[in-house]
Structure 1
Amino acid sequence: MPVAPPRPRRKQRRSPGLFPILLVLVAGLAVIKWIDPFASRRFPAPATPDWITADLLPVNPYSRPGEPLETVNGVVVHYVGNPGTTAAQNHSYFEGLAQTGETYASSHFLIGLDGEILLNVPLDEIAYCSNDRNEDTISIECCHPDGTGAFTPETYDALVRLVRWLMEYYQLEPSQILRHYDVTGKACPLYFVDHPDAWERFLADVSPAEE
C-alpha cells in the first residue's frame, strides 16, 4: 500500500517586536504635533539687551509665581497709578508682596521717570498684571510724574523702544499692542485712555516703517 509523502511543515510567522511598533507610534504623534496649527508657540526668553536692567523678583505666590508663559500673543501697557514714584520704588513694592501677601501684582517690566527699564519677571514666566491676559501677554508698567498719567519724554521714548523690540522678537502686529483698558475696561494707562489720539500716535510710533 503506497505511503503518502510527509506534508511540509508550515513556517511559523514570527510576530514583530513591540519596539518597532512603539517607534512608529511615537514618530506619528510627533508629526501630528509638528503640523498642528493650534499647538502653542513656545518662545525661549530673549537675551536681555544692555539697555534693560534685570532685577528679578524672588519666586513667590504673590508677585512671581514661576508659572511658564508658553505663548505670547500681545503686549499690555499699564501705568503705575502712583504719581511721582520711581521704577525702583514700584519694584520694591512688588518684592515686598512676597512677605505681606496683601495682593497679587507684578509686571514683566517697569519703566521709570528717567527712562530706565527694569525687568522684574523673566519673559518665559507669567506676571500678575493683565488679569485674564496674564497667560499670553508681556506686561509693561510705566511711571508718571503727576495725576494726569502722562509719561515724561524719557519714559515715552523708552516705552517705544521696548515695545518695538518685543514686537520684533515675538513677531507681533500693532493690533496686538494693548492698553490695560482694552483688556478689562480699567482706566489704565490713564492718559492713553483719556486721550485716544495719543494712543493712536503711540501705535504709529511703534509700527514698522513702510519700505
Structure 2
Amino acid sequence: MTTLKYNYINKNKFSRPGFKLLRVSKIVMHYTANSGASADNHRRYFRDLKERYASAHIFIDDKEAICIIPLNEVAYHANEKACRVQALKATAGYYSGGNANLTSIGIEMCLDKNGNITAATFNRSVDVVAELCKTYNLTASDIIRHYDVTGKNCPAPWVTKPSELTRFRNAVNAKLKGSASTSKPKPSASSNKNVYYTENPKKIKTLVQCDLYNSVDFTEKHKTGGTYPAGTIFTISGMGKTKGGTPRLKTKSGYYLTANTKFVKKI
C-alpha cells in the first residue's frame, strides 16, 4: 500500500496480542484526542504500553501514515462496550466476544497542537482508506466511526458534526470511482487463469499482502514466516513445487512464497 509506512510494534499482551482477524467488514475511524502528538509519537506509545489494553492498526498525521499492527491481526480499538453494529459482532476461541476488534481495521487520525484534524491529515486518511476499501472489497458506506460501534465520543469532531463523516465518505468514494474509471479493460476469461513463475526470477516485488511459509504446502500451520505488505521486495534463492506441481518461490531466508504472477512481479 503506497500511502502507508509499515513499522510494526512487537507482539505484547497490551497492544498487539497477535490474534488473527476473522475478516475485515468495516473501517473504524478514530481520533487520538492527544493534541500535537504525531503518528510516530503514538507508535512509540503503544510499543511501550503497559497496564491497559488499547491500540489501532494505523496512525495518520499531516506528514505520514504508519501501520503499527499487521492488517490481518487484531488491534484493541473498538470493544470497550457492547457492539452496536450487527456486521461486526463476532467471537473466537482465542478472543471471546472480540466483536469489532475481530472484524475491522482501526484508524486513528492525529490532531495538531490546536486540537484539529488538519486538511492534510484528512486527505491522507482518505488516501489510506480508499486503498483499504480496494484491498478488502469495501465501499464508502463501510467506513464508520468508533461512536457508531460502541457510542464513544470518537472521533469527537465527527460526532458533533456528522456531516464530516459524510464528507469523508464522499471523498473516499470519489477516489474509488476515479480508480475504476482509469482502470484497464476487464480481461478476458482466458487471461484470468493462474500463471506462475517456473524459473527463478531472482528478485520479486509483492503486488498484494503476502504470507511466508516454511513448506511448499500453504496451510495455516506452515504460515510461520510472517505477513508482508504489497511492495515488499524479496531475493529468491530457488524454486519448489507442491505435490500437485504448483510452483513456489524460495526466499533467501528459506521460506516459501507464492509464484503466482497475480501476486508477485519480477523486478
**Shared fold by TM > 0.5?**
yes
CA shift at 1:200, angstroms? 0.8
For residues 27-42 of structure 1, the aligned pairs below 5 Å read: none
Which amino acid letter does the alignment assign opposite residue 112 of structure 2? P
SS of residue paired to 1:110: strand
SS of residue paired to 1:135: helix
CA distance in 2, matches of 1:119, 1:82: 18
Residue ranges of structure 1 left out of the alignment (5+ in a row): 1-48
Structure-2 residue corresponding to 1:9: none
SS of residue paired to 1:160: helix
SS of residue paired to 1:159: helix
CA shift at 1:146, angstroms? 4.8
Query: Residue 104 of structure 1: which of 27, 34, 53 is its match?
Result: 53
Query: Residue 104 of structure 2: which of 133, 137, 149 is its match?
Result: 137
Which amino acid letter does the alignment assign opposite residue 209 of structure 1? K
Structure-1 residue corresponding to 2:19: 67
CA distance in 2, matches of 1:146, 1:186: 23
CA distance in 2, matches of 1:92, 1:81: 16
Structure-2 residue corresponding to 1:51: 3
Q: Say if 2:72 is the partner of 1:124.
A: yes
CA distance in 2, matches of 1:134, 1:196: 23
User: TM-score, normalised to structure 2's length?
Assistant: 0.57
SS of residue paired to 1:138: strand
Which amino acid letter does the alignment assign opposite residue 130 of structure 2? R
For residues 1-211 of structure 1, the aligned pairs below 5 Å read: 49-97=1-49, 101-114=50-63, 116-131=64-79, 132-146=99-113, 150-207=116-173, 208-209=176-177
More strand as a share of residues: 2
- Asked whether the equivalents of residues 3 and 127 of structure 2 are also in contact (C-alpha less than 8 Å), the reply is no
- Number of equivalences: 158
CA distance in 1, matches of 2:113, 2:71: 29
SS of residue paired to 1:134: helix
CA distance in 1, matches of 2:160, 2:116: 10
- Asked whether the equivalents of residues 24 and 105 of structure 2 are also in contact (C-alpha less than 8 Å), the reply is yes
User: TM-score, normalised to structure 1's length?
Assistant: 0.71
CA shift at 1:175, angstroms? 1.9
Structure-2 residue corresponding to 1:36: none
Structure-2 residue corresponding to 1:35: none
CA distance in 1, matches of 2:41, 2:9: 13
More helix as a share of residues: 1
Please list every run of at least 4 consecutive aligned residues from structure 1 whose deviation after the TM superposition is greater than 3 angstroms. Answer: none
CA shift at 1:57, angstroms? 0.8
Residue ranges of structure 2 left out of the alignment (5+ in a row): 80-98, 182-267
- Asked whether the equivalents of residues 27 and 143 of structure 2 are also in contact (C-alpha less than 8 Å), the reply is yes
- Cα deviations across residues 38-61 of structure 1 (Å, max 9, x unaligned)? xxxxxxxxxxx3431111010010
CA distance in 2, matches of 1:146, 1:50: 27
Root-mean-square deviation (Å) = 1.5
CA distance in 2, matches of 1:75, 1:109: 11
200-209 vs 73-82, which deviates more?
Answer: 200-209
CA distance in 2, matches of 1:193, 1:146: 20
CA distance in 2, matches of 1:184, 1:83: 23
- Asked whether the equivalents of residues 39 and 61 of structure 2 are also in contact (C-alpha less than 8 Å), the reply is yes
